[in-house]
Amino acid sequence: MSAPDPSRIRHAVRRVFDMFQQIKALGGVFGAAFLLGGFILVTGLLPMAVGSRFSVEYQVEVTPTAGAQALPADTFIVNGISCHQDPSQQAASPGVSTLICVALEEADDDGLGQIASGLSAKGWVLSDSDFGMSLSHVPSLWVLSVVMLLYIGLGIALVRSTKAGWGMAAVRASPWKAALLVLLPIGLLLLGVSVVGALGWVELPSPPDLLLATAAGAHGFGIGMPLGAALFLLLPVLAALPEEALFRGWIHERLFERLPVWTAYLVTAQAFTVLHIGLLVALFAGDQRSPIALIQLVTVFGISLILTWIRRVGGAVVICVLAHAAYNTAIIAAHLYRG
């Protein structure tokens, strides 16, 4: 066995040292990137944290009295509160039904009392022994509007600060290629979901039920439920603009000029994943679905690699924005279909 070539060892060590020097030189870029990423994250969480109104979910057991009306199989309204039967819960005794009711409340409202009085009029009595409640902030319309404006402004500013800009010339030069690249993440998503579902590895979760609360919040603001729901659904789609402007625009331009290609790929994906950790924690912390967050993080890392590859192949940030927005739209559509 021949001895290792000292010159090759020195060359490898030198390459590693140079890479660390390049990363050190990029410290300012990383710092700015994490500040901007943190701003996007915190801004995106504002609609879930700010607001004086709450979406309160009650889980109650009800018992019929003599002459009680039959409870509808679908969603029904009790004193302005949306309720439906929960067939997944095993009733304590025959004739007892479990209801899930979602109320939009101020801090001093008594949603449970309204449910009890409304059901009493139908001949049903609430059980005192089995009762559960969870609540979350209702995103207000003005907060959603401000967040959207901040996203648009930040995205435009970041793209305008790069040399390549939006890259519309690349789109005009090969529109069919751009269209295929935009649809690529959706195709991979469908393939992954099909494989996971076929193998039965994990039960795909439904998202937190904020849609109804947001729509109701917009209705209370005097604008109308469809607009509030549309804005809430549009928010994660619009988030693709500042995220791609940052990671596939501003960061991409600086990393790929100074780092080896695959190092830049991995560093970008790691930073993109870190940006989404807070959101995933907010969605899944303290929930029985928490283990799914790990799969979500792996998915985020993979999507970042794919979007960076799309940026390299397509040559345009706008393609990445549209691909990311299309991917988020597909996720929302799948959740609504399951819901």
Predicted pLDDT at 268: 92
Angular region, 100: left φ>0, alpha ψ -120 to 50, beta rest: beta
Q: pTM of the prediction?
A: 0.72
Q: Taking Cα atoms as reference points, which of 114, 113, 108, 107 lies closest to residue 77?
A: 114
Q: Evaluate the CA torsion angle 29, 30, 32, 37 in order and state its sign.
A: positive
214 bridge partner residues: none
- Could you please state the CATH topology (level 3) that the domain comprising 54-137 is classified under: Alpha-Beta Plaits (3.30.70)
- Measured distance CA(119)–CA(164) in Å, rounded: 62
**Residues 277 and 297: beta-carbon distance below 8 Å:** yes
Strands (E), 171-243: none
| Pick from 167, 143, 177: nearest CA to 244 | 167
In the sheet that 81-85 helps form, which strands lie side by side, from edge to edge?
76-78, 81-85, 97-105, 54-64, 124-137
Domain locations along the chain = 6-50+139-338, 54-137
**Amino acid 187: pLDDT:** 86
**DSSP category for residue 90:** P
- Helix, strand, coil distribution of the chain in percent, nearest 5: 65, 10, 25
pLDDT value at residue 227: 54
Q: Are 45 and 109 in contact (CB under 8 A)?
A: no
Give residue for tokens 């009890």: 116
Query: Cα–Cα distances in Å, from 146 out to 44, 100, 149?
Result: 11, 32, 5
- Would you give per-residue pLDDT tens digits along the chain (339 residues)? 455 566 776 776 677 666 666 666 666 777 788 888 888 888 877 776 776 677 788 888 888 888 888 888 888 888 888 888 887 665 556 678 888 888 877 767 788 888 889 999 989 988 765 567 777 666 677 788 888 899 999 999 999 999 999 999 999 999 999 999 999 998 887 777 666 665 554 454 444 444 444 444 333 333 334 455 566 678 888 999 999 999 999 999 989 988 889 989 999 998 898 887 765 565 555 454 555 667 777 888 999 999 999 999 999 999 999 999 999 888 777 766 655
Note whether 58 and 130 are within 8 A (CB): no
User: Closest by alpha carbon to 301, among 269, 279, 277?
Assistant: 269
Distance CA(317)–CA(69), nearest Å, equals: 59
CA distance 224 to 215: 8
SS3 per-residue string spanning 19-32:
HHHHHHHCHHHHHH
